[in-house]
Amino acid sequence: MTTVAFILVSWTPDAPAGMERATAAAAVALTQAGHRAVIISAAVTEPGLYGGVQVMPLLTLPVTLPCDDRTLRTLLERHAGWIRAELVGLYRDLAVDAAVYVDALWGLGRIAPTRSPARRILAAHVVGHDTDLHAALDRQPDAVIAPSETVRVEAAARGYPADSWRIVPNTLLVEHPPRSELVRGQLRRSGPVRVLARLSPVKGVTAEFIHTAPDLNRPIEVALAHAGFEDTTGEQHQLALQCRTAADHNPNITLRGGMSWLAVPAWLAEAALVIVPSHRESFGLVALEAMSVGTPVVGYAVDNLPHLVGDGGSLVPLSEGPAGLWRAVRDLLDDPVRYEATSRAADYRTRDYRPALCADQLLKVVS
């Protein structure tokens, strides 16, 4: 049995963010494979459990969430010595064999201890700021992993030695069964169009996206929630106000808050299709979750989405903007033959991302 610790400052159950959900899914997959996983986070205040995974608080980092990158970077520089000492103590007490620093900044890769535990892994879910990634690589991790070839290509283009980085894709936290072909046909005719995103301009749910939502003779539901991090202080609050104002002037769209991770797959399964309007997507976890339940995806052809979605959805150039997304939604819903083929392809394309397979790939790196 291998004990793996995942370190992510902002991790908390049901956080509306890809890194947090991907970390939970990887940790749970390891436990299901017979290993032991621990998540260390500054966003929790006491030890707990999540899906059989031990969750431990990081007490030496006095961070207030939500927090922006610049503030966190300053805090880490100021408290690095205490944080390292606490991590080493946790690794010892928990008998940790391998530590996965989930990000160069938010996963503490830039200040990681250099001699403990036996295996030290840097996860690059995004390439991020050069200041953080250079510092993390200077800590000489035993391996660097990325969720997609997109991240590795971007890193290489920016001058990093990414040829040696390993691809360990994100996985599913919940394996929810797809709807039957009969139900899927009914959803195409009258089911809701759904969007699930955190509040960030890069995720594409903006006032323009909401303003341009057409009357599809069916519900259009957008779940938006605050994450524990943001690019600039107050960014999420401002975007939430803009989206709420836009929704108040568009009767075709309904905004709701976030939901628990465990509820997400069932919610996506009951959609006619799911829009992933991200402008950047190093992996595409919402797209994966939607496709795994047979729900087609509409989004922009950016970053990893073309590789992930393929014929399991319809992608348009980013230059077409929200109008292009809504046009693709209409085209797919109005074509029953294409819709049925797309739904079948969506489910098939997610088989390489099942928890047991992804846990095995991660174990090959950390063991």
165-209 confidence digits (pLDDT tens): 999 999 999 999 999 999 999 999 999 999 999 889 989 999 999
From-to residues of CATH 3.40.50.2000 in the chain: 3-172+354-366, 181-349
Q: Which two tokens stand for residue 85?
A: 């000492």
Model pLDDT, residue 226: 82
- 226-259 pLDDT, tens per residue? 888 777 888 888 889 999 998 998 998 999 988 9
Q: Is 81 exposed, middle or buried (0-12, 13-18, 19+ CB in 10 A)?
A: exposed
Which of these, 193, 182, 255, lies nearest to 220 by C-alpha position? Answer: 193
Q: How far apart are CA 325 and CA 309, in angstroms?
A: 15
Instruction: Tell me the angle at which helices 336-349 and 321-333 cross, rounded to the nearest 10 degrees.
Output: 110
Task: State both tokens at 80.
Answer: 């690095």
Report domain 181-349's class.
Answer: alpha beta
Q: What element of type H or E holds 224?
A: strand 220-225
Class of domain 3-172+354-366: alpha beta
Q: What is the model's pTM?
A: 0.93
Q: Which tens digits make up the pLDDT trace of 60-106? A: 999 998 889 999 999 999 999 999 999 999 999 999 999 999 999 99
Q: Output the six-digit token pair for 227.
A: 């994450």
